[in-house]
A and B are shown apart, each in its own frame.
Chain A
Amino acid sequence: MADRDAFQQFLLRMGDNTLVLGHRVSEWCGHAPVLEEDIALANTALDLIGQTQMWLGLAAEVQSEGKSADDLAFLRDVWDFRNVLLVEMPNGDFGQTIMRQFLFDAWHSIMLTRLRSSSDARVAAIAEKASKEVTYHLERSGDTVVGLGDGTEESHQRMQAALEYLWPYVGEMFASDAVDAAMASEGIAPDPASMRADYDDLIGRILSAATLTLPDARFARKGGRDGRMHTEHLGHLLTQMQWLPRAYPGASW
């Protein structure tokens, strides 16, 4: 059953990315710089939570232990989460939030495009639906990165600082391990390393239009997608997110 375990891990990676980022983005509700951003951020968070229901729903089905997507979202502890570190990073200022979104959306859109031709029909169906949403996320976060990078002196500096702060977390999205090798050999999902050239090309174009400078460093902080070492931030996020179902076990909401 090694392959089923790998498949399960892959689905958790997809679903935990969208769950954790959806949660982070939803923290903005009512606090955005302008009303259109309140609407767009809520919309993005909503899409990501919807995708989480699909990915974790399938993960629970594959696991076949009678669990639900909600059980996986609300009853696992930090070490069982498989999201990349990037998405658990705090919101910071609006610039940091939108830069994190852009760096993730660029990866996400390439990933979902490839997953549309997955050998697993269920994965392909989720990717089909999600990629429409993520195309829009990328368009919006990319435009905003360009607008703020090429805006005022202050907005430029803040966006450059955000890029430098988050850049070390980009590499993890392209790290490949045994799970990825198993997925690639079955044609379920691409080897993440194979997506790096497309990614660099895509973000290079946007960041150049944004007049931002790509950091030189290639050092990558890792440990999220294999659960080996998350950041300290994730535990606090889960404390808030999971509190209610854990405080009242067995209740139905």
Chain B
Amino acid sequence: MYAQMVKSTGHGVKTRDEMTPEERAFQDRIDRGDKIEPKDWMPDGYRQTLIRQIGQHAHSEIVGQLPEGNWITRAPTLERKAILLAKVQDEAGHGLYLYCAAETLGVSRDELTEMLLDGRMKYSSIFNYPTLNWADIGAVGWLVDGAAIMNQVPLQRTSYGPYARAMVRICKEESFHQRQGYDAIRKMAEGTPEQHRMAQDALNRFWCPSLMMFGPSDKDSIHSAQSMAWKIKINTNDELRQKFVDQTVPQAEYLGLTVPDPDLTWNEDRGHYDFSEPDWSEFFEVIKGNGPCNTDRMAARNKAWNDGKWVRDGLLAHGEKKRARAKARQVAAE
């Protein structure tokens, strides 16, 4: 998943005594593992939190096309070009399912898009980092999709039906992307000395930003506590980050690449790797808009939207003309 620091109600989880009867019945359904469907009653806070979370996820898929699209025209073989095109196409498709899931909550895709473009909504911090060499494309699949999957697999069991179902489809494609990414970076790591150097450089630059994808520790966050009570967040950020590190370190070793963390060690007692926290001050700067690519990413999305206005208007006008003509024909026939 690509949502970070999603705000919930900000009031903490209500006790059963504080809940209205409707809220209590709703929480009971969640606790039983029922899926909530669009027409069901839901607390406004649940609806708004989901819109923020699904919207942020959808926006990330859309903005995420840019760092990968950056290499489509420079992919080194026809096969790599085809694989990358297919992946970026899948991601745009994920954006589409997610916007559709958000629309079931009563917000339109255009409204969400406008909130992204004027900065009211965010997308994942990871897409504000540049892709600078070809191995970055492998690293994005391996690390970025790998981190996303950590979050998305549990979300297949999330309480909101349309979101859970979108996630099932997305997870299948994401795990495919991750395997392709690993294959691409493996080829680089095992290639010429220059290619190996590109692979190491990609890992050096993407390691910390990938750890940041899970967001800062949320063990004391009232927002996360509420989201977990509603089962729209299943695990804490720290649990997922640990799982990601434990999975990724042996893969890096297999590739002959060095994880850029001198304090990384296997902790026998915990049965997990100990690792250094990423620089959270950098994370907060990126979230504020001061990442390496924030300005360019938003400029690109705004340009696409503004340049495309005449196209959207044209197609809309044509649709209206067609409907009017069909109606006129129907009237004439009657």
Contacts and interface: CB of A to CB of B under 8 A. Distances in A.
B318 interface: yes
Given A34-B308, A35-B62, A251-B194, A148 B81 contact: no
B77 A46 contact: no
Interface string A69-97: 11001100000000000000000011100
B72 A29 contact: yes
A240 B73 contact: yes
Contacts of B79: 53, 70
A151 B314 contact: yes
B304 A32 contact: yes
A63 interface: no
B264 interface: no
A33 B73 contact: no
Interface in A127-184: 144, 146-148, 150-152, 154-156, 158
A154 B310 contact: yes
Interface of B: 62, 65-66, 68-69, 72-82, 85-86, 88-89, 92-93, 95-96, 99, 109, 134, 187-188, 191-192, 194-195, 300, 303-305, 307-319, 321
Contacts of B317: 151-152, 155
A152 B309 CA distance: 11
Interface residues of A, number: 53
Query: Interface on chain A toward B: helix, strand, loop, or mixed SS?
Result: helix
A187 to B, nearest CB: 29
Contact of B318 (A70, A148, A250): A148
A245 B77 contact: yes
A74 B66 contact: no
A248 B314 contact: no
A38 interface: yes
Contacts of A155: 310-311, 313-315, 317
B303 A31 contact: yes
A33 B68 CA distance: 18
A27 B68 CA distance: 12
A53 B80 CA distance: 11
A42 interface: yes
B192 A39 contact: no
Interface in A223-253: 240-241, 243-245, 248, 250-253
A150 to B, nearest CB: 5
